[in-house]
Amino acid sequence: MYRDQVYQWAFTHADRIFVDGSGMAIAARASGMKLTENVNGTDLFPVLCATAAKFNTGLFLFGGQAGVAAQAAEKMTARIPGLRISGTRHGYLQTSDEEAELIETINASGARIVLVGMGVPGQEIWIARNRHRLSARVIMGVGGLFDYYSGRIPRAPQLLRRAGLEWTWRLAMEPRRLAGRYIHGNCEFLARLVCFKMLAPIEFGPRRI
């Protein structure tokens, strides 16, 4: 995000930003801040689906490889009685016409919640650019969530999740795709955090965000 001004713009235009990942916890401790509980999309998804089913609220799943969102929808509707998946689509858009058609499809579906799984920062930028064109009340980036719930990729063991090391499992599952993001990205993050601690002119006291 440090170098990507478009991503920065999308990030600052979000209505809500959730704490997701061990990196935020490390940065918060280094800054003297107290974070609320970690809320990642993978854990939130079944809770969100159960609540949506209770209120008969439709969801649209957009993202992932061809067929993955549809498989995730099929498994979740079998798992949660009354869940209404209003539509699904893979996450590859080639032209502006395809994007316009997708927007029209989502709006016509009546979905009030749209989950976008295109990866970071693509999903955040897509949401920021298109939120005003969607009639849904909630539009949320969920990363690789559909891969897990479709069964395409197994989720990390509970032990790794509790230790904040789920990223190591994801790296092991998809090394080619995620090596640059996790190895280079994590090293840069830690380097910037060290610089912040050494150079920050203000001493942060504990506070809750």
- Pick the more confident residue, 13 or 83: 83
CA distance 207 to 209: 7
Look up residue 152 and give its two tokens. Answer: 């395409």
Q: What is the pLDDT of residue 41?
A: 81
> How many CB atoms neighbour CB 118 within 10 A?
22
**Maximum mean pLDDT: which of 2-6, 74-78, 174-178, 186-190:** 74-78
Cβ–Cβ < 8 Å for 134, 105 = no
The amino acid present at 195, given as its one-letter code, is: C
Residue 201 has pLDDT above 70, yes or no: no
CA distance 74 to 163: 31
CA distance 185 to 81: 40
- Pick the more confident residue, 147 or 182: 147
Report the alpha-carbon angle 12-17-23, nearest 5.
105
* Whole-structure pTM value: 0.84
CA distance 183 to 176: 11
Residue 177 has pLDDT above 90, yes or no: no
Exposed / middle / buried, residue 15 (Cβ in 10 Å: 0-12, 13-18, 19+): exposed
Cβ–Cβ < 8 Å for 89, 37 = no
Least Cα distance to 87 among 110, 66, 118, 53 occurs for 110
Look up residue 23 and give its two tokens. Answer: 């990196």
Dmax over Cα atoms in the chain, in whole Å? 55
Residue 28 has pLDDT above 70, yes or no: yes
CA distance 9 to 125: 8
Residue 47 has pLDDT above 80, yes or no: yes
Count the alpha carbons within 13 Å of 149 in the hemisphere toward its beta carbon.
Answer: 28
